Amino acid sequence: MLIQYFKDDATAFNAAKKGTINGKGVINNKISSTIFKFLEGRGIKTHFVDLLSDREMLVKHVKIFPLEVVIRNITAGSVCKRLGLDEGVVLEKPLTEFFYKSDSLNDPLVNRDHIIAFDWATPEEFQYMWKEALRVNEALKEFWKEKGVKLVDFKLEFGRDLEGNLVLADEVSPDTCRLWDAKTNQKLDKDRFRFDLGAVEESYKNLMERVAQ
Ligand code: TMP
Ligand code: ASP
């Protein structure tokens, strides 16, 4: 097993922007742990084992696929830039995108054929990640709705553990999800840091308080 340590360091735009969000590590560890436990309760296998301390999570050792799986419920971020779309359009069905994890290439968007052709995952592994990400979306939409938050989009990473099981890994936190207040559409996630919107720490704290309720 491994210990995953949550820092306050923040990066954006492939680390072109660097900073610190005070208390973020503690908040992301708590929110991520709560979400992993919630997802396990919904039958989704994760790398989560235990919350060890404020900044430490005990996790299974997994080999991560070099892929980021993004699900979008509302348009925002890179899809708007790439396709010239307005932000905030509610999608009729969740939109799934895969990105190849490569800093030097700036994490390009890839499709199923690329993933299989270049052996980043097998067809079965691709199918699992795709279906599982949509199951995670249904569970998480409900989780956040109860807390008065809209799940706009999020990024997942999957891996294979030492017993050969495919599991959800990494973290699920305000760093990896876009989360808007359900009433006001106020952004409560890392976009506040990415785009210098202010009240970054307050927004992370706000989410943590809603999760702790
Ligand atoms: P995007 O709109 O920039 O493609 O981001 C989609 C979602 O993925 C958003 O919730 C932020 C999250 N994300 C990460 O967690 N890590 C990343 O490196 C990127 C680019 C996005
Ligand atoms: N954390 C990523 C980076 O270092 C991107 C992001 O979350 O915006 O660029």
Q: What is the pLDDT of residues 78-109, one digit of tens each?
A: 999 999 999 999 999 999 999 999 999 999 99
DSSP letter at 85 equals P
pLDDT score at 48: 98
Quick check: CB of 122 below 6 Å from ligand 2?
A: no
pLDDT score at 129: 98
* Stretches in the chain below the pLDDT threshold 50: none
Output the ligand 1 site: residues, CB below 6 A.
Answer: 70, 77-79, 153-155, 175-178
Return the best residue to mutate from 89, 155, 178, 207 for the ligand 1 pocket (most ligand atoms within 8 A of CB): 155
Quick check: CB of 90 below 6 Å from ligand 2?
A: no
- Of all atoms in ligand 2, which is nearest to the CA of residue 155? 7
Q: How far is the CA of 11 from the centre of ligand 2 (A)?
A: 5
Q: What are phi and psi of 57, to 5 degrees?
A: -120, 130
**Which amino acid would we find at residue 103?**
D
pLDDT score at 213: 83
Q: How far apart are CA 95 and CA 71, in angstroms?
A: 6
CATH number 3.60.15.10 is the correct assignment for the domain at 2-212: no
Half-sphere exposure of 122 (CA within 13 A, CB side): 5
pLDDT score at 115: 98
The answer to whether the pTM exceeds 0.85 is yes
Q: How far apart are CA 19 and CA 15, in angstroms?
A: 10
Q: Where would I find the H helices in the chain?
A: 24-41, 78-83, 112-117, 123-145, 191-194, 200-212
pLDDT score at 1: 96
Return the best residue to mutate from 70, 109, 152, 188 for the ligand 1 pocket (most ligand atoms within 8 A of CB): 70
State the chain's maximal CA–CA distance in angstroms.
Answer: 46
- In the chain, where the domains are located: 2-212
What residues does 171 pair with on adjacent strands?
none
Q: What are phi and psi of 65, to 5 degrees?
A: -70, 145
Q: How far apart are CA 134 and CA 116, in angstroms?
A: 20
Tokens describing residue 161: 């553990």
